[in-house]
Amino acid sequence: MQYNNNTKDTQELLKIFYSDKYGFDEEGLKKSLQGVLQYYDNHARHQYHIISRFVNEKMQESEDSVSYILNNIDVMLAFLENKRKECEKIIKKTSSIKIDEVILNLEKLYDHIALEEERLKNNAANMKISNSQIKDNVLETFNSITDSFQEKVDEVSGSLNANIITVVGLFSAIIFVFFGGITGMSGLVKGICTLKSKEDLTIPLICVLALGFVIFNIVFLLLYSIAKIVDKNIGTTISGQGYVWYDIDDSTDGKFYVLKNGELTRKSYETRQKAQKKIEKNKRVWRVKEAIKQTLKKIFFRFPYVLAINIILVIGILYLYMQL
């Protein structure tokens, strides 16, 4: 309870100097002095945390409010010094403390308030600087990200424009080849229609099939180029290269056996070097087999429709050629 009273009394002491009714004439100062004496009769010290809280609250309302408090304390100290004899009489009547003690306590109060004001102003200035630095850092980071993003956009845009131009060019080539081939074929067909015997049809038909073979593969090559540019797969997906691993096992009868994918092979070797040579040979043979296997897969299964049409055209050309 005594602690709570001390807190409340400290606030009342500060309110004396903060009050807008604080008097600057002699009568007003005497009245304010009575309130100050009442506090120091009951308390020997100030509560600094109460002063800090009070100053913080008043500075949030207005920075001039703390200056107003300090000015009023300064006026009271001047009054005690200039009217010392009159003040001593007033103090003796109402209090047991001496005038020098009152002056000392008010000087300490002034220092506490001034120190807290300076601390809060420094904190506010540091906070302002920190906020400014954070803002600058955020803006700098944002600008860096924006510049990087713009560079990526420009890069992608340039690449996209180049790809579009290439694709349009290839499509133009496809159309040119297709319609050029159609025009050529139409001339051959007109010529075929004028022939009178079956024997005379052989060579024109060979020319038609050969021209169809060339046009078909050129158009496919152009479409394949477009698919590569736009990163699209127009063929069927085939399985990739297999995997095999070899090792040497010397755990039985003092001989060395080659392990293939964890399984023992039949033949044994007298030394580890011979077994290692066998492994290197098997690896080379396996790589060649896999390369041939992958090549055949790509030929027969990557583009099966293209292969089928080419086979049909080639067989037709060979068959007609044999009829000559």
Q: How sure is the predictor about 188, in pLDDT bands with cuts at 50, 70 and 90?
A: low
- pLDDT confidence of residue 157: 62
DSSP annotation of 231: T
Residue 267 belongs to domain spanning: 246-302
Question: Does 148 map to a domain?
Answer: no
Highest mean pLDDT among 105-109, 124-128, 130-134: 105-109
Q: Is 250 helix (H, G, I), strand (E, B) or coil?
A: coil
- Shared domain check, 256 and 192: no
Taking residues 5-11, report their average pLDDT.
72
173 and 268 both lie in a single domain: no
**Domain end residue (candidates: 133, 150, 176):** 133
How far is the C-alpha of 36 from the C-alpha of 25, rounded, in Å?
A: 16
For residue 158, name the pLDDT band (cuts at 50, 70, 90).
low
Which percentage of the chain shows pLDDT scores above 90? Answer: 0
24-38, 56-70, 218-232: lowest mean pLDDT where?
A: 218-232
Q: Is residue 78 part of a domain?
A: yes
The amino acid occupying position 247 is D
- Are 221 and 260 members of one domain? no
Q: 210 and 277: one domain?
A: no
Q: Is residue 153 assigned to a domain?
A: no
Q: What's the pLDDT at 2? A: 44
What is the pTM for the complete model shown? 0.42
From CA 201, how far away is CA 186, in angstroms rounded? 15
Mean pLDDT of 264-278: 75
> Is 258 found in the same domain as 219?
no
What pLDDT does residue 153 have? 65
What does the pLDDT average to over 23-49? Answer: 80
Q: Count how many domains the chain has.
A: 3
Locate the DSSP E strands across 189-262: 246-249, 256-260
- How far apart are alpha carbons 245 and 255 in whole angstroms? 20
Across 47-56, 173-182, 204-213, least confident range? 173-182
Among residues 77, 111, 133, which one ends one of the domains?
A: 133
Strand partners, 268: 257
How would you class 106 by CB atoms within 10 Å of its CB: exposed for 0-12, middle for 13-18, buried for 19 or more? buried
CA dihedral 199, 204, 209, 212 (to 10 degrees): -160
Asked whether the CA dihedral 91, 97, 98, 102 is positive or negative, the reply is negative
N- to C-terminal Cα distance for the chain?
128
pLDDT, mean of residues 27-42 = 81
Residue 196 lies in a domain: yes
Residue 52 structure tokens: 């800090």
Whether residues 129 and 7 share a domain: the answer is yes
φ, ψ at 263 (rounded to 5°): -110, 140
Same-domain pairing of 275 and 200: no
Residues contacting residue 270 through CB under 8 Å, at least 6 positions apart: 255, 256
Q: Which pLDDT score is estimated for 193?
A: 65
Closest by CA to 23, choosing from 10, 35, 11, is 35
The pLDDT confidence band at residue 31, using thresholds 50, 70 and 90, is: confident
Does position 5 have pLDDT exceeding 60, yes or no? no
Which residues are CB-contacts of 109 (< 8 A; sequence separation ≥ 6)?
13, 46, 51, 73
Q: What is the pLDDT of residues 51-100, one digit of tens each?
A: 888 888 888 877 788 888 888 888 888 888 888 888 888 888 877 788 88
Task: Reply yes or no on whether the pLDDT at 175 is more than 50.
Answer: yes
